[in-house]
Amino acid sequence: MLLVIGMWIAPDCRSQSKLNTVSLTCADSLGKSTQVSIGLFSALTGSQQPIAEMTPQGTTPVTSSFPLKSPQFAFLRFGDELHTLYIRPGEQLSIHLDLTQKQTTLAFTGQGAEANSYLAETYLIQRQFEKVFFSLPLPAAFQRLDSLDKALLLFDQTYAQRSRITPNVLTLLRKQGQIRILSLKLNILLSRYGGGQDTTVVTPMVQIIKQVPFDPTLLAARSLDYFNSLYSYLKVRMMLDLSANFTKEEITANRPRLPLITDELIKKWPLTPTFTQYIRANNLIQWIGQQGITPATTDILTAYRKEYPQSVYLVELQKSYDKWLVLKVGQKAPDFTGTTLDGERISLSNLKGKVVYVDVWATWCQPCLSEFPSAKQLQQAFLPTDQVVFLYVSIDSNQADWKKLVRTDKVPSGYHINIFDQKQDDQFHKSYVISGVPRYILIDKQGNIVNPDAPKPSSKDIEKAIRVLLQ
């Protein structure tokens, strides 16, 4: 299969943007169709935001248009593959996507071809090295990353000699390659840290976050790897600051105020105004994602809007905040249905009349599993009453793994369900803004939200909160 994408830009007189028009054709003797998406990365969450989606079939061109205001990194997605593009308003770019071989290749012609050819070739180099990073022992993983860094440097030197790429674009692409290595190192370390499971990686994490550059050109170019690196910086730096100022018990006790506490800490960091604005927005959106609409997140969003009324991050912050409106305290909890081990269908609405403590978990989530002993103790605290229901909602896609674990004594008793239906699972994630596990939700006897981000079983606060609802 050979796909040919033609991109050209015409001025949009209604705004400062220029209209990019993408034309996609497909030459395939089997007549298969392949959905191709082009899009941008959100600045705060790194989520993919498609701006052009096409499903070519045969040789008939498929076109799509979208406005673009400034040069930036973008993505080209088809199937399981995600490629990085660099697009600029006013360029005419043609992309040739060849799927006839085992390994997909991209070829570019027209304006911007040099930059995107550079990215395509670095992608192929990275694929040779990146497949086993997370499974290797840490020294071997970092050694492999150093080898990747050397391979990219060698490619860069030869490409610069044979290409007509402009110096400023080449500098940006070099920075992108360097930040990719840095981002991978941080991801490896954070995955092994696992919320405190492996503290031996703390020292190298501290050393590496010092290498994160605060570069306005990378920020403006909306590099996903740069967004990820800044998020890692925020996560590690905040972990260090909180540990230096509070005990674990104080952090747990002050959880409702943590958005305010962390926002004040960031204000003291030696950052430029541009990056203070970005890091504060990133911190806030993480707390909105975890806690939803609370007095703390509401106060910070209000203050942020007053301090940065023209901030480009306000739209994304408000959108994230608005997702939680259906989960405000006192609102009716969105209904959902799952399947038990025995194939019985149970809905949240079936449990109305009882206090429901929802535990959203997965078999592969170590923090979820580590809470199960405390969950058992919590259940014991409410025996023999039948007015409290403990509902365990698994998000596992592997039914066999879920069923095997639930049948062991490692898992607390109660109602165990899994939402196997993909459509219902997507709706559950959307309705309850599930961005990660574990997640706990407290619902009263009337079926209304009490806390969309309830304390975990090991917290002293959850038993008190449930007993209040039984009065």
The secondary structure of 84-147 as a DSSP string is EEEE-TT--EEEEEE-SSSS-EEEEEETTHHHHHHHHHHHHHHHHHHTTGGGS-HHHHHHHHHH
Q: Name which residue leads in pLDDT, 110 or 14.
A: 110
How far is it, in rounded angstroms, from Cα 171 to Cα 156?
Answer: 10
Do 347 and 389 meet the contact criterion of CB atoms below 8 Å apart? no
Distances (CA, A) of 107 to 50, 85, 236, 247: 21, 12, 39, 55
User: What percentage of the chain carries pLDDT values higher than 90?
Assistant: 69
Average model confidence (pLDDT) across the chain: 89
Alpha carbon dihedral 368, 370, 373, 376, in 10-degree steps, equals -10
- State what percent of residues in the chain have pLDDT above 70: 92
Spatial neighbors of 69 by CB under 8 A, at least 6 apart, are 15, 16, 17, 18, 89
Most confident of 94-98, 109-113, 446-450: 446-450
Say whether 40 sits in a helix, a strand or coil: strand
- Return the amino acid letter for 279: I
The H-or-E segment that residue 23 falls in is strand 18-27
Q: How far is CA 342 from CA 293, 310, 415, 416, 418, in A?
A: 37, 55, 11, 10, 11
Mean pLDDT of 252-256: 89
- Is it the case that residue 13 has pLDDT exceeding 70? no
DSSP 164: -
Query: Which CATH entry fits the domain spanning 2-111: 3.90.1070, 2.60.40, 1.10.150, 2.60.120?
Result: 2.60.40
Could you give the residue ranges of the DSSP H alpha helices within 246-346? 248-253, 258-267, 273-291, 295-307, 314-322
What's the rounded mean pLDDT across residues 116-128?
92
Could you identify the residue written with the tokens 């989960």? Answer: 327
At residue 8, does pLDDT exceed 70?
A: no
In angstroms, what CA-CA distances link 336 with 24, 321, 429, 445? 40, 22, 10, 16
Cα gap 442→268, rounded to integer Å: 35
* Segment among 179-188, 197-206, 208-217, 219-228 with least mean pLDDT: 197-206
Q: What pLDDT, on the 0 to 100 scale, is given for residue 285?
A: 97
* H-state helical runs in 194-247: 202-209, 216-220, 224-245
Fold of 337-470: Glutaredoxin (3.40.30)
Q: What is the DSSP letter of 435?
A: -
Handedness of CA 196, 198, 203, 204 (dihedral sign): negative
Q: How far apart are CA 426 and CA 174, in angstroms?
A: 38
> pTM of the full predicted structure?
0.85
Domain boundaries, the chain: 2-111, 246-323, 337-470
Q: Higher-confidence residue: 388 or 384? A: 388
3-state DSSP call for residue 275? helix
Q: Which range (160-169, 439-448, 460-469) has the least confidence?
A: 160-169
pLDDT at 6: 44
pLDDT tens digits, 275-284:
999 999 999 9
54/3: higher pLDDT: 54
The predicted-structure confidence for 398-443, as pLDDT tens digits, reads as follows 999 999 999 999 999 999 999 877 888 889 999 999 988 999 999 9
Split at pLDDT 50, 70, 90, the class of 59 is low
Predicted local confidence at residue 60, as pLDDT: 66
Q: How far apart are CA 151 and CA 123, in angstroms?
A: 12
Give the per-residue pLDDT at 54. 80
Q: Return the half-sphere exposure (C-beta side, CA atoms, 13 A cut-off) of residue 210.
A: 7
